[in-house]
A and B are shown apart, each in its own frame.
Chain A
Amino acid sequence: MRALFATAVAAAVLSAAPAFAAPDHPDQVERGRYLATVGDCVACHTQAGSASGNAGFSSHGFAGGRSIDTPFGKINAANITPDQETGIGNWSADDFYRAMHEGVRPDGTHLYPAFPYTDYTKVTREDSDAIFAFLQSLDPVRSEVNRDSLPFPFNIRMLMLGWNTLFFKPTEFKPQPGQSAEWNRGAYLAEGLGHCGTCHTPRNMLGGERNSRPLAGGDLQGWYAPSLTADNRTGIGSWSDDEIVEYLQTGRNAHGAASGPMAEVVENSTTLMPEADLRAIAVYLKHPLGSHEAASTPQPLPAENPQMQVGAAIYMDGCQACHRADGEGVARLFPSLAGNPLMQQSDPESLVRVVLQGGRAAATDAAPTGPSMPAFGWRLTDDQVAAVVTYIRNSWGNAAAPVTADEARKLRERLAQVVK
């Protein structure tokens, strides 16, 4: 009897051993932890219900379930803790690399590009293995996630085979010979693990990234990820390398502050990155390959425009106290609106959203305040929201298309849905 018991205990210990064993390569695990930070895995893979910012680097940051809005429906992020049944405890490093590189699971089924394998494909095998070692070092969390939440026909994963044929080819990162090592490091981070393009590159009707217009700005279902091109008006052409580094490091700079989804990126990822890597990204963003086609600058609306007049009155009474009459704001506290590319995107969605429901800047150790702007949706009509946003987009040297009350109404309805 005693022997039987001992055997049972031994069996239990042995079978549990892989999950609880100390990692064999602590250096690799630590490197993987850093790379997972660059990749911002927790942004999506955090356990449903837990605020991603608080998930930190406990296993719950990777237990999956957070629902990601896509134009095709909601996708729930997978559990990537080493739980045998509900996580990736049974995966090998080969399996993991294949998922990162090709977007395919060990059983051969396809992942959706909500998981940015279209960018992660450029991650080196060495880095992929380090991330895998880190994930395997986490405590396994049992967390069943419905991974087939998309409606028909998008729930047919085989469709991704066709999609991949059209929009995806597994590639490896190739350094540009004419560029500095720093630039290439930035390119590797931004195009690969950093997956900036997942949000900031526009997509076509089928959700494929339009590679002809890299980082030109993308629609995010209720947010608009602004252009990161070198354009002075709509991109970050007017930002210096230092200002880009400061933005990624602290969540703000003299021009503005990260809010919305970018605040999460800063809080969970970029603020935890060393300055050298952030500077590499800045150098890469400031010196894009290929010639920059200067976007045609529209004429600002005249001040006599009725929408501009209403907008000016609302701005004076509701916005001016913080953002100042000249739209300059207060550096590192209240974003400058004058000359701010975020104000002049082709799609005003983020701007309308912040007016409707307020916003909060990223809070980082370097800049812990996280100043917030109050919501105005409860006391401005759709017409008034459209007018004040139009005014901001066409004042102090800004110039961008006017916003209609209908756009404000649609976003208001969408946000009301989100809250329910």
Chain B
Amino acid sequence: MRGGMTRRRALLSASALIALGSPGWARDYRGAMPWKAGEVYPPDSIASPGPWLFLTAEEAAMIEAIADRIIPMDELGPGGRDAGCAIFIDRQLAGPYGQLDGWYMQGPFPSDPLPTQGYQLPLTPRQIYRDGLRALASYVAHAFNNRKFQDLSGEEQDRLLTELEKGKAKMDGFSGKVLFEQIYGNVMEGYFADPIYGGNKGMASWKMIGFPGARYDYRDVIAHPNQRYTLPPVGLKGRPAWGPPMADGAGGRI
């Protein structure tokens, strides 16, 4: 029987044929994809000026101080504070990212996850900032004679941040390493993300590294190899040559 067609196989083939041939299963799609005039999906959490949305003034001051140590101002560009990293972080925390909307946030949470497993904490970014910064403030007050983080000298701040990063500073009730990694990542994002989100003021970081911004067609550039790329960077809201940009909060769906 081996090699020949078994009864079972014949049956299977027949049912497969029926499935393929059944008109009820096939659908004929005609016409274009649905499209609506004026339909837009602007980025979440477009930053607009105004008071802090999630952070307290004290928390914001701490973040600005930390951002300025992670990315200090130098001849190449502004520091993390002036670039607006704290504004970026505040607007992101106030938006969907703050609560990780859309992430799977049920357990189990392994205590020693592999790096490939990605984010494995039960905490939302809001909780990390709120609880972590509180723990940091009390740690600083304890270790530095009732001073605040933002009042420490640059050297003291650097030393403390290094200890947090290496897990050497033992804060009460919160992992210094978790807090440091969270802030470090978000400061980098704020420094390099599109200015529409509140950081990267004046596209300073893009100018610094030569990133062209929200452009996506380089055929003309590729056609001229070995020539310097001279176009200025452009953000989602344009660049100075566009004239005054849309007032924040204006626009929206037409």
Which residues of A are at the interface with B, using a C-beta cutoff of 8 A?
A: 53-54, 309-310, 313-314, 316-317, 320-322, 325, 356-360, 363, 368-370, 372, 374-375, 377-381, 383-384, 387, 412, 415-416, 419
Contact = CB atoms under 8 A, between A and B. Distances in A.
Contacts of A359: 37
Given A375-B254, A378-B253, A419-B253, A357 B239 contact: no
A370 B238 contact: no
A288 B212 CA distance: 51
A359 B236 CA distance: 20
A379 B96 CA distance: 22
B49 interface: no
Contact of A380 (B31, B234, B246, B253): B246
Given A320-B217, A363-B32, A378-B252, A415 B246 contact: no
Nearest to B243: A310
A111 B178 CA distance: 75
B237 interface: yes
B251 interface: yes
A321 B217 CA distance: 5
Contacts of B33: 370
B195 to A, nearest CB: 12
Given A313-B242, A384-B243, A358 B32 contact: no
B244 A358 contact: no
Interface residues on B, range: 20 to 34
A123 B236 CA distance: 53
Contact of A370 (B32, B37, B241, B244): B32
B40 A375 contact: yes
B40 A374 contact: yes
Q: Secondary structure at chain A's binding surface: helix, strand, loop or mixed?
A: helix
11 contacts: A310-B241, A313-B241, A317-B215, A357-B254, A358-B38, A360-B32, A370-B31, A378-B246, A379-B236, A383-B244, A387-B243
Contacts of B250: 381
B35 interface: yes
A313 B241 CA distance: 6
B215 A378 contact: no
Nearest to A267: B31
B206 to A, nearest CB: 13
Nearest to A371: B32
Looking at A325, A381, A384, the one whose CB has the most chain B CB atoms below 10 A away is A381
A370 B254 contact: no
Nearest to B234: A317
B239 A381 contact: no
A375 B37 contact: yes
A63 to B, nearest CB: 20
Contacts of A383: 243-244
Contacts of A325: 220
